[in-house]
Amino acid sequence: MATIKRVGILTAGGDSPGLNAAIRGFGKAATGHYGWELIGFRDGVTGLIENRFMELTPSALSGILTVGGTILGTSRDKVHKFVVDGETRDMVPTIVQNYEEDGLDALVMLGGGGTAKNAKRLLDAGLNVISLPKTIDNDIACTDTSFGFATACEIATDAIDRLHSTAHSHHRIIIVELMGHRAGWLTLAAGLAGGADIILIPEIPYSVANIAATIKARTARGSTFSVVAVAEGARDQADTADYEAARLLVDRADSAEAKRAAKNHLAHVVDSQREHTFRLARELEAATGLESRVTILGYVQRGGTPCSADRLLATRLGVAAADMLDQGASGVLVAACGDDTCPVPLADVAGRVKLVPTDHKWVEAARRVGTGLGE
């Protein structure tokens, strides 16, 4: 058993449904069951660097289970690249000093892939750190799922349900763009649950000609509309080749100057492909003769009240984090493993992304029910 008396907690990265439920789950177990003191750093890593925090008493944790967002605030700052007066600095030494001055025995960081990397850097600096998996993208390595994903999937599914009626009424192609960065989990899940006719994800580069062929086949069968669910990171085959080539240049750069040039080129490629969904709509309209309309859900997907599944997941992960700390765990991600939880070394998580395998059961299910994947 570890000797824990005072713990800090923060939320980092994009906001996500279930963050407050996780804060509550950990906080109630920490203060009520174990008798620890708990402070919450405001605005993620920024608050940790600037040492801005609030005491998380039982009253502060009351009533937050159903609240969206995070009562602590959040940011995307990096511990080793923090801008101060226009200068980028490594703030890890400052964080270590704050940790010691605040009398902390542990730090709990709720976030996604970037947070796992920040947590690993603080672990390497000697702090007792653990992380909880939060993201609507479901792309964190070594955990079955992350809180936020289920709620976002419900919101996206509801949107696809609603778009079916207007697509049917106007005999149109309706394209709905969903979040997910480089991973297609959200689009794939919501597309299947919402009955999208075509699902396009980053892991399976698409061909406009193949999508058009699927839509024309539907028209020939009497279906005069199609709903296309497309991930924000999905690309056609040509764009994918350009993107992968640009990423390869970054990986192979053998000097700081070459690395900067390669990263600038990659940024240019990404920027040039940013409007790919609208381009897809124009191309499909030209190829099929059907009017095409685009709906981008954006931040709607991660706003509002968390669903029951995310509340349950966040609560049990939060409680498990307190239990693991009491048992002496350090430097781990509290992962969802079936109905249980398990500690996974941050070294196995940081810098990795969980993508959709092209032979995943969800992909196979899409093929079996006749959903087009643009391949």
Write out pLDDT tens, residues 14-51.
999 999 999 999 999 999 999 999 999 999 999 999 99
Q: Which residues contact 260 (CB under 8 A, 6 or more apart)?
A: none
pLDDT classification of 84: cutoffs 50, 70, 90? confident
Q: Note whether 190 and 199 are within 8 A (CB).
A: no
pLDDT higher than 80, residue 1:
no
Q: How far apart are CA 43 and CA 9, in angstroms?
A: 11
Note the pLDDT of residue 273.
85
Residue 212's pLDDT is what? 97
CA distances to 164, 183, 186 from 172, rounded to whole Å, are 10, 27, 24
Give yes or no for a contact between 91 and 85, defined as CB atoms under 8 angstroms apart: no
Q: Does pLDDT of 62 surpass 80?
A: yes
Confidence at 271, pLDDT banded by 50, 70, 90 = confident
b/e for 95-123, b at 16 or more Cβ within 10 A? beebbeeeebbbbbbbbbbbbbbbbbbbb
Are 17 and 310 within 8 A, CB to CB?
yes
Q: Per-residue pLDDT for 231 more than 90?
A: yes
Give dist(CA 374, CA 134) in Å, integer. Answer: 30
Residue 139 annotated among the catalytic residues of the structure = no
* Pair of tokens at residue 74: 């959040």
Residues 203-228: tens digit of each pLDDT: 999 999 999 999 999 999 999 999 99
Please give the pLDDT value at position 194: 98
For residue 351, pLDDT beyond 80: yes
pLDDT attached to residue 371: 97
Provide the pLDDT confidence category of residue 134 given band limits of 50, 70 and 90. very high
Where are the strands (E) in 182-331, listed by range?
198-200, 226-231, 292-296
pLDDT greater than 90 at residue 295:
yes
Specify the pLDDT at position 218. Answer: 95
Report which DSSP code applies to 331: S
Strands (E), the chain: 6-11, 37-41, 53-55, 82-84, 87-89, 106-111, 129-133, 173-178, 198-200, 226-231, 292-296, 332-337, 340-345
Contact assessment for residue 320 and residue 130, using Cβ atoms and an 8 Å cutoff: no
Query: Looking at 137, 139, 197, 310, which residue is catalytic?
Result: 137
Residue 272 pLDDT: 87
What is the per-residue pLDDT for 32?
96
pLDDT tens digits, one per residue of 135-185: 999 999 999 999 999 999 999 999 999 999 999 999 999 999 999 989 999
pTM: predicted TM-score of the whole model, two decimal places: 0.94
Question: In a 10 Å sphere around its CB, with 0-12 CB exposed, 13-18 middle and 19+ buried, how is residue 42 labelled?
Answer: buried
Label residue 86 by pLDDT band (50, 70, 90): confident
